[in-house]
Structure 1
Amino acid sequence: MESTEALARRLLELMGGSENVQSITHCATRLRPQFKDRNLVQKKDIQELDGVTGIVDKDSGFQIVIGTNVGEVYEAFIKYLDSTSTSEDLKTETKERHLLNDFVALVVSIFSPLLPLLAGSGLLRGFTILANELGWLSTESTTNLMLTLAATSVFYFLPLLVAVTSANRFKTSPYIAVAILGALIMPDFINLIQGDGGNLIRFFGISMPVFNYTSQVIPAILTVWLQSVLEHFMKRKLPNSLHMIVIPTILLFILVPVVVGVFGPLGNYLSIGIANIVGWLANINQIVTGAVIGGIWNILIMFGVHWAPNTMVIIPEIARTGHSAFIAYGATANFGMAGAAFAIFMRSRNQKLKTFSLTAITSVFLSGIVEPAIYGLGVKFKTPLVAGCLGAALGGAFMGAFDVIGNAFVFGGLTTIPAFAGPTLWAYVIGLAISFFGGMILTLILGVKDPEAEMTQTK
């Protein structure tokens, strides 16, 4: 594989140079550049680069699938990118904008920095629950309490964490953002809430409903966005000598009541609406729900839109209830594609393809990253994608039949199985196995017609 620096340099060249790159972000596995002129991008050459798994070229945006080392490639790319043109272009709004692409890019930039923490806390929570189930750790012990607090604090203080990443995204002060959102989770504010919340308090004679905002993210994102607008405006209008004192004072005075009276209730009602939709979907028929979510998840990943349900449905559900069935159903997609990759590994005579298939399987098992299998095998040869999705649907249906849930937001892999510890762990493991062997068997049955695969016939 090319070195990170060499790959970044070649990518920039094939994108048409720094003058053609308007902006660039990244998620867990892919670069998401925006161009002034997409016709200048040499797509085929990018696809063939050693270190690039695939590309997604849709009206909604251009994505380059790298893998788990995407952060390193991104940093190297930024180093080669002309800083002057980048800073100017990031301030420029193009006439051709795609709302879905903008939303996904926003969500990715806010939540990507939190993924390692969410996964780590989830695994710790899973190991703790597993120790409880096996009788190794008493649920009444202070050791259990400390481990539980360590694993769940991320969700209690999620508004503050999202405030920090949102502040970085909107180029505003993260310290002021934390102070503003912190007011909503202080004990004295929590004491104002009666029952499930919604009771009214008065601020300068204005009635405001109060709710519990621990674990909520929508108020944090909206508030920090408004903070950035106000802060940038005041920095332009006020003398530099007044910035240090006046700006924080005004922002705290204005935004704490705004988030309590406007953004907080709005976010709360949106969260309730989303929760009701999730509950409705789950209650239609868990078997059907599991099959549908498992079956379509790789398609969502393929188009890069899986972050919408991740951040709007799954993460809030786990933050609110401590578990989610949808995170389990999504994991079946990874194992369905891993099974398809294993079939290619077994039957292909192409040594390079066998090696790539093994790499794709390892990526799923160790890190829960499925993009190499999707783009390198599924999209390329078609039938493995179909087989992987059908295998995932079978595994999702099985999990739905036994009400499987996950305790944390993690990518589905062998290393994250403890995050599903509990009474339904056995069904989760069997569901993964069904997905894997389903994807493998269906790939063997459907076959791969492309001569490049050099597949032997199934006897």
Structure 2
Amino acid sequence: MSNYRDMANDILKDIGGKDNVINVNHCATRLRIQYKAKDQIDDNSVSKIEGVAGTVIRDDEYQIVIGTDVANVYNEFVKSIGDVSNNKSSNIKFTWKHLGQTIIDFISGTFVPILGVLVAAGLVSAVLNIGVSFFGLSTKSGTYTILNGIYEAGYYFLPVYLGYSAAKKLNMNPMMGAFLGATLVYKTIDSAKGLEFLGLSVPQIQYNTSVIPILLGVLFMKLIDVGMDKITPKSIKFFTKPLITMLIVVPVTLLWLGPLGFQIGTIIANILSFVNLKLGWISVGLMGALTPLLVMTGTNQALFPLCIASVASIGYDAFVLPGMLSANVAVGAAALAVSVTTNESKKKQLA
């Protein structure tokens, strides 16, 4: 569908307007809307909107299946609803379920925008391998150097992309998150030996391609950002707020949060490797079988940091991504079978 604005407005109208929206996000194919009142949603009308392939209501989240155009619809939807922060209830009781949903929402909102970078970088690597193996591309040529630069930049500066995306998700200036990520991968800080700050020894950590350290750093930055907003006079906030924020966040990240995140990432990668080694192909099969359920519930988003942590630690992921690949191939085969066997034109197109 070409008119994404009309589609977004139709969806907004049929779910009860912006006053019924608490938060909105999206994954690869679905617009995910947290709502206040279920009875205000006209699911039948939403399902009939051109471009909507289906809907799912799960707990307090309304999922609208759109397909690969979901990002365009999301952008128009966000413009239509504006600021909905006042829609959140101030007396929400803490539950582990709510905490889990909040964590998954943060991870999803942070990682989905950068998936295009990771996909492009990975495919360029595949093109390089094919060029070298089958077409005689020299590893010393300028062509190889440029293409390899695209691949390396996609992963080497991962903390910068994640810093920007995470800060934007937390409603901060995204450039401050990118600034923190760039600081971590700067040549005199990343993997630096014998570094110290005010007499405190800074652990030697490789931050390029890392995931969890920058996420912890940006979360801490959010706390400082909120505090600085409360105590900084408006007349000097423009220059004092970013200055003091970075002077606090960078040392704390380098001294404690970064090493903690690195250790968490290493532990996660080791656990995944252990499960894969002990269960072998069964572990991949289980992941493949669970993937459709994970996607429907949105919990697949929580696996992105695990995959990247594994790649950063041991160079590959032999568990999660192969399982998801097998699931996607199976779902694709099922959709292909439907498209071949059905006589309904709309269902054939959807398949």
Matches within 5 A, 1:129-144: 129-144=129-144
Contact 2:181-2:214 at 8 Å conserved across structures: yes
Aligned to 1:404: none
- Contact kept in structure 1, 2:162 and 2:181, CA below 8 Å: no
Q: Structure 2 vs 1, CA of residues 144 and 67 (structure 1 numbering), >3 Å: closer, same or farther?
A: same
What stretches of structure 1 of length at least 5 have no aligned partner? Answer: 194-199, 358-459
- Indicate which of 305, 308, 323 corresponds to 1:312: 305
State the structure with bigger RCO (CA 8 A, min sep 6), 1 or 2: 1
Instruction: Report the CA distance between 1:216 and its aligned residue.
Output: 1.1
Residue by residue over 1:95-131, the C-alpha shift from the partner in whole angstroms, topping out at 9 and shown as x without a partner, is 4772232222111211121111111111111100111
Deviation at 1:339, TM superposition (A): 1.6
The farther-off stretch of 218-227 and 4-13 is: 4-13
The match for 2:184 is 184
- For residue 353 of structure 1, report the CA deviation from its aligned partner: 2.3
Cα displacement (A) at 1:268: 0.7
TM-fit CA distance, 1:92: 5.4
2:200 equivalent in structure 1 = 206
Change (3 A) 1:78 1:144: closer
Task: Determine the structure 2 residue equivalent to 1:89.
Answer: 87
Amino acid at match of 1:88: N
Q: How big is the shift at 1:151?
A: 0.7
Q: Which letter does structure 2 place at the counterpart of 1:158?
A: L
SS of 2:209's partner is coil
2:47 and 2:94 map into 1 onto residues whose CA distance is: 25
CA deviations on 1:241-292 (whole Å, 9 max, x unpaired) are 2213322221222111100111101101101111101111221243222322
Shift in alpha-carbon separation, 1:43–1:286, aligned structure 2, 3 A: same
Separation of aligned partners in 2, 1:244 and 1:338: 51
Residue 56 in structure 1 maps to residue 84 in structure 2: no
1:293 aligns with 2:287: yes
Which residue of the partner structure matches residue 8 of structure 1?
8
Runs of 4 or more off by more than 4 Å in structure 1?
90-93
Letter of the structure 2 residue corresponding to residue 155 of structure 1: Y
Partners of 2:187 and 2:20 in 1: CA distance: 51
Q: Distance in 2 between matches of 1:52 and 1:92?
A: 33
2:259: which partner in 1? 265
Whole-angstrom CA distance in 2 between matches of 1:277 and 1:210: 23
Offset of 1:7 from its aligned partner? 2.5
Residues 10, 188 of structure 1: alpha-carbon distance in 2 compared, 3 angstrom cutoff: closer
Amino acid at match of 2:308: I
In the alignment, which residue of structure 2 is the partner of 1:429?
none
TM-score w.r.t. the length of structure 1 is 0.70
Letter matched to residue 283 of structure 1: L
What is the SS of the residue equivalent to 1:240? coil
- 1:125 aligned onto 2:118: no
Q: Please name the residue that 1:427 is paired with.
A: none
Structure 2 residue aligned with 1:231 = 225
SS in 1 for 2:343: coil
CA distance in 2, matches of 1:93, 1:183: 38
Q: What is the deviation of 1:190?
A: 3.6
> Contact 1:209 / 1:265 at 8 angstroms: preserved in 2?
yes
Residue pairs, 1:398-417, within 5 angstroms: none
Contact 2:35 2:61 in 1 (8 A): no
Shift of 1:329: 3.0
Structure of higher CA gyration radius: 1
Q: What amino acid does structure 1 have at the position aligned with 2:105?
A: A
CA contact (8 A) 1:210 1:260 kept: no
Cα deviation 1:185-215 (Å, max 9, x = unaligned): 222224633xxxxxx7543233442211111
Conservation of the 8 A alpha-carbon contact between 1:208 and 1:261: yes
Structure 2: how far apart are the matches of 1:302 and 1:190?
A: 38
The normalised TM-score by structure 2 is 0.89
In 2, Cα distance between the equivalents of 1:104 and 1:186?
29
RMSD (CA atoms) = 2.5
**Gaps spanning 5+ residues in structure 2: where?**
none
